[in-house]
Amino acid sequence: MLNAIVLAAGEGKRMKSRRPKVLQTIGGRPMLRHLIESLDALETEQILVVTGSGAEQVEASLEDSGCRFIRQAERLGTGHAVMQALPKVPDDARVLILPGDMPLIRPETLKSLLDSQADLALLSFMADDPTGYGRILRDAQGRVLAIREQRDASADELSVNEVNSGVMCARAGDLSRWLDQISDDNAQGEYYLTDCIAIAAGEGRRVDAVVAPDAEELMGANDRAQLARLEAVFQNRARQALMAQGVTLADPSRVIVRGRINCGQDVFIDADVLLQGDVTLGDNVQIGQGCVLGNCSLASGTQLAPYTVIESASTTGACTVGPFARLRPGTELAEGVKIGNFVEVKNARFERGAKASHLSYVGDARVGEGANLGAGTITCNYDGVNKHRTRIGKDAFVGSNTALVAPVEIGDGATIGAGSVITQSAPADALTVARARQRSFKAWKRPEKKDN
């Protein structure tokens, strides 16, 4: 029976932020969220999250996670934090303790710790720069004796490169007994969880530090510089995962991933692309330079020319979009649709083969199969109070610079003369022109310059 205790009560002073530390984001999502996802891959009886500073915010961020929350009213240290949660765990249960600021840990690494038969097992790693971490102190035989925190360490101890990740595992009953013996007599005046190690070793219990092969995934983030380092590792992983799915990245270091990306084969992504939220890209989708894609699904063969911005939209067949196009929420494009430069689409469906090639705004509309919207076609969907719909029929042809004042309907096969302001429905298969008639004045003469 495995119980997890996640320590997330700290303020994170070193971040210099109003946001609780564990809610600082990596890949667009809170660090704590990443950690809970890794834990979800293990079979835990319960996940107890110790909250304190910014508790309401932290708890709200995990509302749908099934975690239980324990408030640590005063932050008296990591040992004190664990003590608050232990009463909720049966004495004979195994407890896995994790710091909330460790978003990159993989479930496999946690499993390797859980495989240890030791009475107290912890994950350590070799740090190039151990500054800030607790140092693992071993005897001549390599047995773990203690963990010494940075601020309490001697010069010799500071030179140790094996450091504590903050993840450990032991029986709840043992932990309570050890924690009853720790004190706050140290440089920070805190109850250190890490003092349990020396106590357990002193009882003659088996203490194991499992050295994780990949130091990167155990890195914590106490300040913005460390956060940036974790972000870099996360991005690197995300890019590797994309390439493993069969995606070509023109320059892997220039794609940013802030969400869950699902790609088919032979997708091509050019430089400086940002992917956020849930993004699904079908086979052979081509994403041009500088595109920003949020929560969208693009069907196989869709091509985005550079600097296209998409939010909550989808293509259901191969389409071409951009450059400099904007697809806003509720946009749906069927096969063969073309959306060209400086076209904005919102809450509108384009049927098969419909086109808006230049400089248009199409909102709250349905554009029929094969219809063609000329440059500068605008749906006037908003009367200042309410939104209204525009319906454009199959094979309609709307001349350039037409304003379609909604609610309005353009019939199938209708042609609208350029520059029209359409306020009433236009019949199918007819030419509708709604603009001042052109006149020429033969007798008119240009004014001449007067002599004064």
Binding residues for ligand UD1 (CB under 6 A)? 7-10, 21-22, 50, 52, 72, 75-78, 80-81, 99-101, 133-134, 147, 149, 163-166, 192-194, 220, 222
Please check whether residue 421 is in contact with residue 401, taking contact to mean a CB–CB distance below 8 angstroms. no
For ligand UD1, which is the closer residue by CB, 36 or 147? Answer: 147
- What is the dihedral sign for C-alpha 61, 64, 70, 71? positive
7 binds, among Ca ion, ligand UD1, none (CB under 5 to 8 A by kind): ligand UD1
CB of 274 to ligand UD1, least distance (A): 29
> Does residue 130 bind Ca ion (CB under 5 A)?
no
Q: Which residue, among 101, 91, 92, 12, has the nearest Cα to 49 in the 3D structure? A: 101
For ligand UD1, which is the closer residue by CB, 163 or 255? Answer: 163
Segment lying near Ca ion (by CB under 5 A), choices 183-191, 212-220, 263-271, 355-363: 212-220
Contacts of 230 (CB under 8 A, 6+ apart): 26, 31, 103, 104, 219, 221
Is 358 an annotated catalytic residue? yes
Segment lying near Ca ion (by CB under 5 A), choices 100-108, 168-176, 256-264, 281-289: 100-108
Provide the mask over 222-261, with x wherever binding to Ca ion is found by CB under 5 A and - wherever it is not: x---------------------------------------
130 binds, among ligand UD1, Ca ion, none (CB under 5 to 8 A by kind): none
Contacts of 215 (CB under 8 A, 6+ apart): 125, 126, 127, 128
For ligand UD1, which is the closer residue by CB, 164 or 286? Answer: 164
**DSSP structural state of residue 55:** H
Cα→Cα distances 184→9, 79, 92, 169, 324, Å: 18, 10, 27, 22, 60
Distance CA 440, CA 357 (A): 32
For ligand UD1, which is the closer residue by CB, 8 or 200? Answer: 8
Contacts of 360 (CB under 8 A, 6+ apart): 342, 343, 344, 373, 375, 376, 377, 378
For ligand UD1, which is the closer residue by CB, 38 or 194? Answer: 194
> Does residue 220 bind Ca ion (CB under 5 A)?
yes
DSSP3 helix / strand / coil % (the chain, rounded to 5): 20, 35, 45
Segment lying near Ca ion (by CB under 5 A), choices 39-47, 96-104, 363-371, 426-434: 96-104
- The footprint of Ca ion on residues 6-45 (CB under 5 A) is none
CB of 81 to ligand UD1, least distance (A): 4
Residue closest to Ca ion (Cβ) = 220
316 binds, among Ca ion, ligand UD1, none (CB under 5 to 8 A by kind): none
What are 348's strand-pairing partners?
Answer: 365
CB of 16 to ligand UD1, least distance (A): 15
Rg (CA), the chain: 31
> Does residue 103 bind Ca ion (CB under 5 A)?
no
- Cα angle 429, 430, 434; round to 5: 140
Q: Which burial class, exposed, middle or buried, applies to 142 when counting CB atoms under 10 A from its CB (0-12, 13-18, 19+)?
A: exposed
CB of 10 to Ca ion, least distance (A): 8
Distance CA 300, CA 310 (A): 16
For Ca ion, which is the closer residue by CB, 28 or 132? Answer: 132
Catalytic residue among 34, 80, 358, 388: 358
Distance CA 198, CA 178 (A): 9
Interface residues with Ca ion (CB under 5 A) are 101, 220, 222
Which residues are tagged catalytic?
A: 358
